[in-house]
Amino acid sequence: MKIGILGGGQLGRMLIQSALKYDDQFYTLDPASDAPCHNISYFTQGNFNDYETVLNFGKDKDVVTIEIEHVNADALAELESQGIKIVPNPHIIKTIQQKILQKEFYKIHDIPSPEFQIIWNSDEKIIMPLPFVQKMNTGGYDGKGVQVIRTEEDYQHLWTEPSVIESLVDIDKELSVIVARNESGETKTFPVTEMVADPKLNLLDFNICPVFLSEDIQRQIDSITEKFLNAIHSPGLFAIELFLDKKGKVWVNETAPRLHNSGHQSQEGNANSQFEQMYRVIKNLPLADTDIITYSGMLNLVGAEGYAGKVIYEGMDEVLKLPKTYIHLYGKTETKPGRKMGHINVLADSREELMEKLIKVKEMVRVIAE
């Protein structure tokens, strides 16, 4: 099959890497000439937000999928009407692209998500009690486009663009669950993972699996995934980001309609990875078993503060000496502060051992520049 991917970043790269054991041809579209997929696929340099570019890219493919959601969904809908298979459905991409539509989707389908109010412009009267979180309708990514409004003085910082304001959840844990559905309607869910964020960069730092959850919490998550999978009417792989609050209630924060950073430990930690699962979704094959092999965790390798330029990974030789530790680099030559350059997966026999190993690895490595 000729498989086209909108986006040529690390998610696409790891999908292709995983799928090379099968017999397909991968095509990618990305604006950056040195995108992580540029030298491992048939690469087109171009803007995946541009209608004509996406149409041209997709017209001779058997399937077109995405590895980033900020793409031209109208062009995907047009390709679909011409008989090209699109995964996931352009309609669900459009819903997720806009926080307002995404929040309404949860409400309509009775999926618990924090209370919200839609703000169309600066004249809107705010009825949401303080403190609350404001999220831009479009364009937010990796924590950008999200701000907390705590006091009435903070009202002056409110963004005036269309946005959603939602109640501030008293977060105990940030969890993620990756679900997949193929065209035949078969579904599979990965075991829940826990994200531990770096408060400064707002980027995912450690991601660990399994997470010990009470029966009640697991039941809430199962109910969310079931409602979600019943509501989407689309094949695809989706990462549902969850908040567990301090009272034991689970809320949906947001969903990504694609492969996700919170699933990277599945490369070595589960019977099959999220990349293998995505491949099977694209091809409408029987879905893969997602069982946990052992305790697993992932550490993002992000560009250190104060360094920009040609990348150097400091401490990698030491990491390579560690047992059950796996380096994944994304083929990016230039680093800058906060840029995701790679990740390291670690396996262990207990949660304590896992955390110790992750902290040790984090202290060993630094992503700097020449």
Site residues, ligand ADP (CB under 6 A): 114, 133, 135, 140-146, 166, 168-169, 171, 174, 197, 202, 241, 253-254
Between residues 241 and 268, which has the closer beta carbon with respect to ligand ADP? 241
CB 334 within 8 A of CB 310: yes
Structure tokens at 48: 């995946």
Between residues 133 and 282, which has the closer beta carbon with respect to ligand ADP? 133
Between residues 166 and 268, which has the closer beta carbon with respect to ligand ADP? 166
Does 94 belong to an annotated binding site?
Answer: no
Site of tokens 């169309």: 120
What does the buried/exposed string (b/e) look like for 19-58 if buried means 16 or more CB atoms within 10 Å of the residue's CB? beeeeeebbbbbeeeebbbbebbebbebebebeebbbebb
> Phi and psi of 350, rounded to 5°?
-150, 165
Does 174 belong to an annotated binding site?
Answer: yes
Between residues 44 and 97, which has the closer beta carbon with respect to ligand ADP? 97
Does 81 belong to an annotated binding site?
Answer: no
Supply the Cα-derived Rg of the chain in whole angstroms: 20
Does 184 belong to an annotated binding site?
Answer: no
Between residues 143 and 191, which has the closer beta carbon with respect to ligand ADP? 143
Measured CA to CA, the distance from residue 175 to residue 65 in angstroms comes to 25
- Cβ 140 to ligand ADP shortest distance, Å: 5
Between residues 197 and 292, which has the closer beta carbon with respect to ligand ADP? 197
Structure tokens at 233: 């009417």
- Cβ 292 to ligand ADP shortest distance, Å: 24
- Cβ 68 to ligand ADP shortest distance, Å: 12
- Cβ 353 to ligand ADP shortest distance, Å: 26
For 56, the 3-state DSSP assignment is helix
The partner residues of 299 in beta bridges, in order of sequence, read 206, 344
Does 29 belong to an annotated binding site?
Answer: no
| Closest chain position to ligand ADP (CB) | 169
Between residues 130 and 322, which has the closer beta carbon with respect to ligand ADP? 130
Measured CA to CA, the distance from residue 312 to residue 309 in angstroms comes to 9
Picking from 67, 59, 55, the residue whose alpha carbon sits closest to that of residue 28 is 67
Does 196 belong to an annotated binding site?
Answer: no
Measured CA to CA, the distance from residue 86 to residue 22 in angstroms comes to 20
* E strand or H helix that includes residue 18: helix 10-19
Measured CA to CA, the distance from residue 80 to residue 236 in angstroms comes to 15
Annotated binding site: 99, 135, 166-169, 174, 253-254
Annotated binding site for ATP: 99, 135, 166-169, 174, 253-254
